[in-house]
Amino acid sequence: MKILVCISHVPDTTSKINFTDGDTKFDTNGVQFVINPNDEFGLTRAMWFKEKQGANVTVVNVGGPETEPTLRKALAIGADAAIRVNAQATDGFAVAKELTNVINNGGYDLVIAGRESIDYNGGMVPGMIAGLTNANFVNNCINLEVEGNNAKATREIDGGKETVATSLPLVIGGQKGLVEESDLRIPNMRGIMMARKKPLTVLESTNANTETASVKFEKPAPKGAVKLVDADNIDELVSLLHNEAKVI
């Protein structure tokens, strides 16, 4: 089984976020980048298929040279090869088109993507890939089993979970639950050394048309001052909630 894991290069959630050029561009100065958390769950599940079923795992990213350390980390975790599509990942449709080109030329049976990246939170790339490649699709996937050409997946739905049976080729939008957090892997020294010898192929962009563009960014408003009310003064609390906070 050939597996392609889509990897997004995203800011660490602990990074301090700022914008430049009139809040129209993201300021990368001092920001640590990591594998998108939803993608990391997918990569770990792919490693399970590699170890248990002998699957071949390739990771792919759409981005500039600055994303290659993230791909090297994925190789150190255990992926067999990496592909970087030399294009800026600013539009979900363009990213899906670039990834579709890789998939069509690679003959992959299973494509594992995160249900969304934590930077743009678009949540559209996995579904677009499935549509463009005419593959089966399961989003919000929290469990996946593959036996031969058949697959069984569990996904989160409103109010519960749903288990579906499908077949390969398959695209999933994975998330937390696809593996346990305790199963996530940290590259060891041997993995890091081996990653240096594994192939990282750079493909030029197909110049897919972008359909959207970010016009302006705005950070959430800072938290306001806290006003403490004595626990026995219920009347003052009700008055403040009604007259100042206007929530009752």
pLDDT by residue (tens digit) across 146-160? Answer: 999 999 999 999 999
Is residue 121 over pLDDT 90? no
Q: Which residue has the higher pLDDT, 25 or 146?
A: 146
User: Residue 23 half-sphere exposure, CB side, CA atoms within 13 Å?
Assistant: 5
What's the Cα-to-Cα distance from 32 to each of 108, 176, 246, rounded to whole Å? Answer: 31, 22, 40
Report, as an integer, the average pLDDT of 85-113: 95
**Domains (ranges, CATH) in the chain?**
2-218 (3.40.50.620)
Give me the mean pLDDT over the 73-77 stretch. 96
Q: In the prediction, which pLDDT does 106 show?
A: 94
Of the given ranges (18-32, 46-60, 66-80, 148-162), which has the lowest mean pLDDT?
Answer: 18-32
Mean pLDDT over all residues of the chain?
Answer: 93
Structure tokens of 81?
A: 């090869």
Please give the average per-residue pLDDT across 183-203, as a whole number.
Answer: 93
CB 173 within 8 Å of CB 36: no
**Cross-strand bridge partners of residue 162:** 155
User: Higher-confidence residue: 120 or 205?
Assistant: 205
pLDDT of residue 40: 96
For the beta carbon of residue 193, count every other beta carbon within 10 angstroms. Answer: 11
pLDDT at 64 > cutoff 90: yes
Residue 92, H or E segment: helix 92-106
CA torsion sign for 189, 118, 49, 168 is: negative
Identify any residues that bridge with 216 across adjacent strands, giving them in sequence order: none
Can you give the pLDDT at residue 86?
96
The first and second tokens of residue 113, run together, are 């993507």
Residue 104 has pLDDT above 90, yes or no: yes
* Higher-pLDDT residue of 209, 75: 75
Taking the model in full, what pTM does it have?
Answer: 0.87
**Separation in Å, CA 98 to CA 6, 104, 120:** 11, 10, 17
Confirm if 74 and 40 have CB atoms less than 8 A apart.
no
pLDDT (0 to 100) of residue 227 = 84
- Quick check: helix, strand or coil at residue 183? helix
